[in-house]
C-alpha cells in the first residue's frame, strides 16, 4: 500500500516535471550572449506594475483568447483553413515577428496584443503590407526616450508611438472588395482632431496619476493608463455622448425633442467593428405609470453581401462584405436632433424616459443571448403643458378672483368678531 502510493507519487512527480519543462519558463527571457528577443508581459510587470495591471484588464490583453473573438475565429478556421493569418496579424501580432514555427508563438497568443509587441515596433506600413509592423527586438521604443542613468534595457524615443499612425496598423482595415471594415483611424484623420494634433493616445493613454507631487524635480510624469477603455466603459460613454430632451404636449399630440451629441469621441460613435451599435429608446408614461408610446432609433454601420443582405458574422465582415447599407453614426462634435411625435387619445402624458445603450454581440452561442446591452444614460423628462395662451389667462383670472373673494370673506368675519357678534 505504502510502496504503491510512493510509486504513484514518483510517477506524478515525474509527470509534473515533464509538464514544467515543457512550459517555456519565461517567454523570451534572453540568456547572456543570446541575441535579444521578445519578452512576456510578466517580465515587464516586475518593474512596470501599474502599467501591467491596467493592460492586463484591457481588451488588448485578451485580443486572442477572448471568446467573442475565438468563436468567429474557429468558424473562419474551419471554412477557410490556411487563411487564419488574416485575423492573427492584429489579434496575435507577435507571431509574425517570431521566426516561422517558433513554439513560443502559442505562449504569446495568450497575451494577445502584448507589451513587447507594441514597444518593439520600429515602423508601420499602412499600404497593403503584410505584416504591417516592423520591429527590433531588445529595444524598447517609447514616448520619453528613457530616463538618464536609469536604463535597465535599451530604450529609444519613438515619434511613431505618440501618433495615431501607430494604432492605425490594426484599427484600419479595408477588405478585398475595398469596403472599410475598421475605419476608426480614417474617421479620426478626417476630423478636426488631426489638425489640433489630438492623437489617439491623448484620449486612450492618459496618466494614471499626476507624478509632479511625488517627483520634486517637476519633470515627473505618471505611468500611463493602458486599459484603453473604449465603448465597453459605461462612465466614459455617458460623458462622451450626452443626451438632452424636452417633452411638450399640445392638443392631442406629444412631441419629444432629443439632442444627442458626440461631445468627446475622437472619431465616429460607435466605431470599431460594425457589430457595435448605439440604441436610443424613448418611452412615454401617464401619471399612473402606464406606457402610452414607445420609439427607437439605432445608430450603426451595416455592411451588405452585395445583394443588399446585411452581413452580421464577424469573420464574414472581413472576407465577404461588399457594400455599405447604412451608416448613421455620429461624427466628432456632431449634434443630432431627433423629433418624435406621439399621437395621444384623451390621455395626458406625465413623463418621458429617454435611454441610450451601447450594444455589442455576445459570442453568438445561443440566439437569445445575441446582444449585451450596456446602459449609457437615462433621462426623465416631465411634460410641459403646451396650453393655449387664452386658457392660461382664464385660469390666472379665476385664481385672482378666488383669492380676492376669500380675502373679503375673511375680512368680514374678522370685523364681525371684533364687533362681538
Query: Which residues are bridge partners to 114 per DSSP?
Result: none
Q: 69 or 342, CB closer to ligand HEC?
A: 69
- Are 349 and 254 in contact by the 8 Å Cβ rule? The answer is yes
Query: How far is Cα of residue 296 from the mean position of the Cα atoms in its chain?
Result: 22
Residue 245: how many CB atoms within 10 A of its CB?
18
Minimum distance from CB of 343 to ligand HEC (Å)?
A: 34
Residue 304: how many CB atoms within 10 A of its CB?
17
Q: How far apart are CA 160 and CA 157, in angstroms?
A: 9
Minimum distance from CB of 260 to ligand HEC (Å)?
A: 12
Q: How far is residue 45 from each of residues 89, 151, 159, 268, 287, measured CA to CA in Å?
A: 24, 16, 24, 34, 57
Q: Strands 172-174 and 180-183, how do they pair?
A: antiparallel
Q: 245 or 277, CB closer to ligand HEC?
A: 277
- Nearest to residue 52, comparing CAs of 39, 37, 70? 39
Q: 143 or 293, CB closer to ligand HEC?
A: 143
Q: 271 or 282, CB closer to ligand HEC?
A: 271
Q: 40 or 282, CB closer to ligand HEC?
A: 40
Q: How far apart are CA 114 and CA 369, in angstroms?
A: 30
Q: How far apart are CA 123 and CA 134, in angstroms?
A: 5
Q: 189 or 338, CB closer to ligand HEC?
A: 189
Q: How far apart are CA 206 and CA 101, in angstroms?
A: 37
Q: 79 or 291, CB closer to ligand HEC?
A: 79
Q: How far apart are CA 141 and CA 119, in angstroms?
A: 5
Question: Per the structure block, which three cell numbers stand in for 13?
Answer: 512527480
- Are 310 and 301 in contact by the 8 Å Cβ rule? The answer is no
- Are 188 and 194 in contact by the 8 Å Cβ rule? The answer is yes
Minimum distance from CB of 133 to ligand HEC (Å)?
A: 7
Q: 48 or 104, CB closer to ligand HEC?
A: 48
Question: Per the structure block, which three cell numbers stand in for 305?
Answer: 453581401
Minimum distance from CB of 320 to ligand HEC (Å)?
A: 10
Q: How far apart are CA 17 and CA 14, in angstroms?
A: 5
DSSP label of 64 = T
Minimum distance from CB of 37 to ligand HEC (Å)?
A: 10
Minimum distance from CB of 216 to ligand HEC (Å)?
A: 18
Minimum distance from CB of 195 to ligand HEC (Å)?
A: 12
Q: 90 or 256, CB closer to ligand HEC?
A: 90
The SS3 of residue 362 is: coil
Q: How far apart are CA 157 and CA 153, in angstroms?
A: 13
Minimum distance from CB of 126 to ligand HEC (Å)?
A: 10
Minimum distance from CB of 71 to ligand HEC (Å)?
A: 7
Amino acid at each position: 500500500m505504502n510502496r504503491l502510493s510512493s510509486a504513484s507519487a514518483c510517477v506524478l512527480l515525474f509527470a509534473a516535471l515533464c509538464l514544467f519543462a515543457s512550459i517555456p519558463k519565461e517567454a523570451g527571457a534572453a540568456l547572456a550572449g543570446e541575441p535579444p528577443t521578445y519578452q512576456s508581459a510578466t517580465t515587464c510587470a516586475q518593474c512596470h506594475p501599474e502599467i501591467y495591471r491596467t493592460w492586463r484588464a484591457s481588451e488588448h490583453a485578451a485580443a486572442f483568447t477572448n471568446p467573442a473573438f475565438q468563436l468567429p475565429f474557429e468558424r473562419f478556421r474551419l471554412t477557410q483553413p490556411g487563411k487564419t493569418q488574416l485575423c492573427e496579424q492584429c489579434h496575435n501580432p507577435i507571431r509574425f515577428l517570431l521566426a516561422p514555427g517558433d513554439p513560443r508563438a502559442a505562449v504569446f497568443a495568450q497575451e494577445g496584443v502584448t507589451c513587447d509587441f507594441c514597444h518593439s515596433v520600429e515602423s508601420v506600413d499602412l499600404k497593403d503590407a503584410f505584416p504591417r509592423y516592423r520591429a527590433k527586438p531588445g529595444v524598447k521604443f517609447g514616448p520619453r526616450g528613457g530616463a538618464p542613468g536609469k536604463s535597465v534595457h535599451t530604450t529609444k524615443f519613438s515619434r511613431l508611438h505618440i501618433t495615431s499612425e501607430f494604432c492605425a496598423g490594426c484599427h484600419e482595415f479595408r477588405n478585398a472588395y475595398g469596403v472599410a471594415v475598421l475605419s476608426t483611424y480614417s474617421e479620426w484623420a478626417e476630423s478636426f482632431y488631426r489638425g489640433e494634433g489630438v492623437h489617439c493616445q491623448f484620449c486612450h493613454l492618459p496618466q494614471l496619476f499626476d507624478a509632479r507631487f511625488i517627483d520634486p524635480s517637476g519633470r515627473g510624469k505618471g505611468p500611463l493608463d493602458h486599459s484603453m477603455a473604449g465603448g465597453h466603459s459605461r462612465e466614459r460613454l455617458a460623458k462622451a455622448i450626452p443626451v438632452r430632451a424636452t417633452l411638450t404636449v399640445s392638443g392631442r399630440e406629444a412631441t419629444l425633442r432629443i439632442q444627442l451629441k458626440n461631445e468627446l469621441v475622437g472619431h465616429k460613435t460607435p466605431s470599431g467593428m460594425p457589430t457595435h451599435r448605439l440604441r436610443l429608446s424613448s418611452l412615454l408614461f401617464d401619471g399612473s405609470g402606464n406606457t402610452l408610446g414607445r420609439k427607437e432609433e439605432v445608430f450603426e454601420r451595416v455592411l451588405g453581401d452585395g445583394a443588399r443582405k446585411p452581413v452580421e458574422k464577424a469573420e464574414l465582415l472581413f472576407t465577404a462584405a461588399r457594400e455599405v447599407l447604412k451608416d448613421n453614426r455620429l461624427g466628432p462634435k456632431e449634434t443630432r436632433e431627433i423629433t418624435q411625435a406621439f399621437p395621444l387619445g384623451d390621455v395626458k402624458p406625465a413623463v418621458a424616459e429617454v435611454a441610450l445603450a451601447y450594444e455589442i454581440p455576445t459570442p453568438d452561442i445561443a440566439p437569445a443571448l445575441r446582444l449585451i446591452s450596456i446602459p449609457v444614460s437615462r433621462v426623465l423628462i416631465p411634460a410641459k403643458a403646451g396650453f393655449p395662451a387664452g386658457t392660461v389667462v382664464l385660469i390666472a383670472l379665476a385664481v385672482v378672483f378666488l383669492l380676492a373673494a376669500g380675502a373679503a370673506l375673511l375680512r368680514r368675519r374678522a370685523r364681525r368678531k371684533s364687533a362681538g357678534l
